[in-house]
Amino acid sequence: MHERRTFRSLLPLAALCLLAVLPFAAQALGQPALTTLATRMLILGLAASGLNIALGMGGLVSFGHAAFYGIGAYSVGILTTHAVAGAPFLGFIPGSEQLVVTLLASLLASGIVAAIIGALALRTSGVQFIMITLAFAQMLFFLFVALKAYGGDDGLSMRRRNAFAGLNMRDDATFYYTCLSVLLVWLAISARLLHSRFGLLLGGIRQSERRMQAIGVQTVRLRWLAFVISGMGTGLAGALMANLGRFVSPDMMHWTQSGELLIMVVLGGAGTVFGPVIGAVALIGLESLLASWTEHWQIILGPSLVLLALTFRGGLARLGKREGR
Amino acid sequence: MQQPILTIERLRKRFGGLRVTDDVSLDVRENEIHALIGPNGAGKSTLIGQIMGEIVADAGTISLCGRDLARLSQARRVRLGLARTFQVPEVLGEYSARENVLAALLARRGGRFFSNASRDEGLVREAEGFLVRAGLDGRGDQRVADLAHGERKLLELAVALATHPRVLLLDEPMAGLGPQESTQMIDVLRSLRGEIAMLLVEHDMNAVFALADRISVLVYGRIIASGSAAEVRADPLVRIAYLGTEEA
């Protein structure tokens, strides 16, 4: 039992070491594409981790988080386009190609959109909440499909990645480390949230809203706050993804993207700090593995997910932990 | 005579054609245990729901220390000094007993929203104190899902106390308890007498007679009798409407 515990506590450290040397290993193995794949995993891990604040901690099953993912991405795409064209967005917001600026803008934009959607959707609960978040995301999806100024359904391409502190962002390894750093900061914030007063009360609401109301907690306000923070995390991931592929399209807001994020969280372990990232790595890894193997990879992916869900109840992150929390 | 803290006047509530609260007037005085008895479906839980603000009354007033509670949210009412327990315990199953009490303490306390809660030693000690008061000493680390039914009932009481209430609304605290657990619950409630006023909704007549200073009888949403234990026992209406159905 004791050995097992030390093993578990060493696991994050081992994972961190592996992540730190990954671009070098990929280079040495003659597989540079591996770095890009790993970057994708990190970014979607961040997106799933954002969703986890609402889903895992708050028990809010949002089927519309692709909206925030897309808003974050479009924040980057639109600001970059305006920076290149030299004309301010909406006539007064200057464009920018600085990563710090575009990331902050994506946080702000996805936060505002989450605040509005949350304020309306949180009047409902259960299945209705799922459907309303889905509906809002689809509305935004069609809005951007129709928005010809920013590429419509063709999407927006960017000449180059946003600049950051004189680093060569064109280099995939450099961009990988940038994303890894953002993810680690976000995970540190998540861990802090989970054990904070906010996290404890939010978890309480998930378990019994009636109980929390009876001790004087304003449950709706707290869940709304969780929803906004959650949307911001996923928005940040969208901004990084826009930079990775130098491309933004409405597809990022499609409901299947929301579904994938949900799968990642549940697969990895809802309500845990590392679970969503593990889920993202597992899902994308499985996808690309199967896709390289056969054209009909989805036929295998579906049953594999069902099998995984049945085998690891509570998620991969809870593997080997004792029953319960 | 002691001042009433909680006053309910001419309260009415209908669910469709059903009058669940029909012109109810009732008060709870300082340090008093006021028992509310009545057959199933008499509207006792609905009354507690209305006092807490979970259910909105159709007419009538509820006031706490002279302050009208109408239009105040449940959170505000809790802050003003109302707390309740539930007939079927509403507890946070994934948390430990201590964390359940901590949640109530944290809800009271503003500020430092993102600070680590369970490492605040002062708070943890305070939580422990409430567990001891409810007779749950040494059970703080226990996951609530693993607690026995009786212990959950006691835990709810500890959680309610942690909100520092002036009036405690108890919805059948004895429901589902074994004889020993009932005795323990009665002891705990008795130890709170003189500190916190209570509105005790209860079916267990032993508990009612052991604890109550005054008893009111609610039948089909109406108060049909109110007074001391002896007065209520002697009331002919009560004998027919309440004790009669009990015997049958």
ipTM: 0.91
Report the residue of chain B nearest A206, measured CA to CA.
Answer: B92
What is residue A59's predicted lDDT score, i.e. its pLDDT?
93
- Phi then psi dihedrals of residue B28, to 5 deg: -120, 125
Contact B4, B207 (CB under 8 A): no
Q: What range does the domain containing A233 cover?
A: 38-253
- For CA atoms A270, A276, A278, A283, the dihedral sign is positive
Rounded distance between C-alpha atoms, residue A275 and residue B244, angstroms? 60
In order of start, what are the domains of chain B with their CATH numbers?
Answer: 4-91+166-247 (3.40.50.300)
Residue of chain A whose alpha carbon sits nearest to that of B99: A200
Residue A221 inside a domain? The answer is yes
Tell me whether residue A206 is in a domain: yes
Does the residue A53 lie in any domain? Answer: yes
- In this prediction, the residues of chain A whose per-residue pLDDT falls under 70 are 1-6, 320-325
Q: What is the pLDDT of residue B233?
A: 85
Q: Are A31 and A245 in contact (CB under 8 A)?
A: no
pLDDT value at position B248? 39
- Contact assessment for residue A269 and residue A282, using Cβ atoms and an 8 Å cutoff: no
φ, ψ for residue B143, nearest 5 deg = -70, 135
Q: How many CA atoms lie within 13 A of A154 on its CB side?
A: 7
> Which residue blocks in chain A are alpha helix, DSSP H?
2-28, 33-52, 66-85, 99-121, 126-146, 172-195, 197-207, 209-214, 219-245, 255-268, 275-293, 297-311
A204 belongs to a structural domain: yes
Contact B91 A213 (CB under 8 A): no
pLDDT of B112? 66
The answer as to whether A273 is a domain residue is no
Q: Which amino acid is at A13?
A: L
The pLDDT of residue B1: 56
Give the pLDDT score at B51.
95
Chain B residues within an 8 Å CB radius of A226: none
CA–CA separation, A256 vs B177, rounded Å?
Answer: 50
Using the beta-carbon criterion (under 8 Å), do A215 and B102 form an inter-chain contact? Answer: no
Tokens, residue B158: 């500890």
> What pLDDT does residue B43 have?
87
Binary contact (B74, A213; C-beta < 8 A): yes
Q: Is B247 on the interface with A (CB under 8 A)?
A: no
d(CA A95, CA A84): 8
Residue of B nearest to A221 (CA): B75
| Nearest chain A residue to B52, by CA | A214
Residue A13, in any domain of the structure: no
Range B52-65 average pLDDT:
92
Computed over every residue of chain B, the mean pLDDT equals: 89
Phi-psi region of A231 (alpha: psi -120 to 50; beta: other; left: phi over 0): alpha
CB contact under 8 A, B117 and A325: no
**CB-nearest partner of B75 from A211, A216, A324:** A216
Q: Is the pLDDT of residue B207 over 80?
A: yes
Contact residues, chain A, for B162 at CB < 8 Å: 215
**Coil vs helix vs strand at A165:** coil
CB B86 within 8 A of CB B160: no
Q: How many CA atoms lie within 13 A of B94 on its CB side?
A: 14
Within-domain flag for A290: no
Answer yes or no: is A313 within a domain: no
What local confidence, expressed as pLDDT, does residue B110 receive? 65
Which residues on chain A are in Cβ contact (under 8 Å) with B106? Answer: 197, 200-201
CB-CB under 8 Å, A211 with B107: no
Query: Residue A167 burial by CB count (10 A; 0-12/13-18/19+): exposed, middle or buried?
Result: middle
pLDDT, tens only, B15-49:
888 888 989 999 999 999 999 998 888 888 999 99
Per-residue pLDDT tens for B75-129? 999 999 999 999 999 999 999 999 999 999 998 876 667 777 777 888 899 999 9
* Burial track A281-311 (b if 16+ CB lie within 10 A, e otherwise): bbbbebebebeeeeeebeeebeeebeebeee
Question: Looking at CA atoms only, how far is residue B115 from chain A in angstroms?
Answer: 5
**What is the pLDDT, as a whole number, of residue B119?**
74
Burial of B140 (0-12, 13-18, 19+ CB in 10 A): buried
pLDDT at B122: 87
Which residues of A are less than 8 Å from B52 in CB distance?
214
Contact call for A325 and B102, based on CB within 8 A:
no
Count of domains forming chain A? 1
